[in-house]
Homo-oligomer: A and B are copies of this chain.
Amino acid sequence: MKDVAQHAGVSTATVSRVLNGHAAPTPETRERVLAAIEELGYRPNALARSLRTTSTQTLGLVISDLLNPFFAEIARAVEDEARSHGYCVVIGNADESAEQEATYVRTLLDRRVDGLLLCPATDDPSLVREVSAGGVPLVLLDRTVRGATCPVVRADGSEALTALARRLVGAGHTRIGVIAGPPNTSTGRERTDVLTGALGGLAQVVHGDFRQESGSQAAARLIDDGATALVAMDNLMGLGALGEVRARGLQIPHDIAFAVFDDQPWFPLLDPPITVIAQPTVEMGKAAARSLLALIDGRQPDDVRLTAKLVLRGSLGEAEL
């Protein structure tokens, strides 16, 4: 910057004003400065700028698993929305581990992100409290924690799950296997509660960990126990469960009905196409980013609850008639 100033025959203050569009420099000075910048190929040091202004124009996003297309889509949406407002997004991968999540959150805070989006790995509120205590704007995404005091953006699957339950019961299923998420996550618990509630006593629940492998194992147990229908509570466990169904040579929907919470582009390609509860992922990501930006702006955004929808495709068999 000093070089640029010297080159243009002005002070660094003037260069800074040109750079930030401040209300001072003569058009003529402006030109000279811009020419010098161009000539020297100068680029301002964002670190120094941020140190001085205490604003990094960066949002932190900590998610459970980048490999989960659900989160990848969310990340993508957050990023799009943030960029359109001049913000960058730094993504942290917590790998469904509370410990790694905490590490990442702290790293992002140390780097002074202007705000944080968090998909909490567990519903333990201590990390959230820590962030809030630091005064950093925080929005929870997809999942919440006990006694959350910050805005939350999530999808509401109650209606869809109830509708799904009604169909399964109506079709005469009496042993319905539910491959649930971990009970210490809000989504894991709530989805399962709603579904099992709506199924009356017909549900058999096995908990997985939102990963593929746990899906196959849970499916194996449930099938062994005589389930005639399977509902997986997220797409990765759904993938695992499908693998198990295939491995056993069972036909969907003839031998077993099948549904998944979360849609994926390839579900329609299976034979039969898989019935799902689709979450508005892109909307969730965008809404969360908007809430966070509002918070950074000093406004107080409301919680956002978007609706997940049941999409019938055929894998439930007669339940879809």
Interface presence of A51 (CB below 8 A)? yes
Interface presence of A265 (CB below 8 A)? yes
Q: How far is the CB of A305 from chain B (nearest CB, A)?
A: 25
User: Which of B47, B66, B79, B265 meets A212, CB within 8 Å?
Assistant: B265
Chain A interface residue count, CB cutoff 8 Å, equals: 39
Residues of B within 8 Å of A246, CB to CB, are 268-269
Residues of B within 8 Å of A47, CB to CB, are 47, 50-51, 56, 111-112
Residues of B within 8 Å of A43, CB to CB, are 106, 109-110
Contact A44 B110 (CB under 8 A): yes
| A97-B242 Cα distance, complex, nearest whole Å | 36
| A239-B270 Cα distance, complex, nearest whole Å | 12
Q: How far is the CB of A266 from chain B (nearest CB, A)?
A: 5
Residues of B within 8 Å of A90, CB to CB, are 88, 90-91
Contact B271 A271 (CB under 8 A): yes
User: Which of B48, B50, B75, B107 meets A88, CB within 8 Å?
Assistant: B107
The quantity of this chain's copies bound in the complex is 2
Which of A109, A266, A270, A271 lies at the interface centre, i.e. has the most chain B CB atoms within 10 A of its CB?
A266
Contact B270 A112 (CB under 8 A): no
Bitwise interface map of A from 45 to 77 toward B, beta carbon under 8 Å scored 1, else 0: 111101100001000000000110100110110
| A12-B151 Cα distance, complex, nearest whole Å | 38
Supply 23 A–B pairs (Cβ within 8 Å), ascending by A: A44-B110, A45-B51, A45-B110, A45-B112, A46-B110, A46-B112, A47-B111, A47-B112, A48-B51, A66-B66, A66-B79, A67-B76, A72-B72, A88-B107, A90-B90, A212-B265, A239-B266, A242-B266, A242-B269, A269-B270, A270-B270, A270-B271, A271-B271
- Give me the interface of A with B, judged by CB distance under 8 Å: 43-48, 50-51, 56, 66-67, 69, 72-73, 75-76, 79, 88, 90-91, 93, 106-107, 109-112, 212, 239, 242-243, 246, 264-266, 268-271
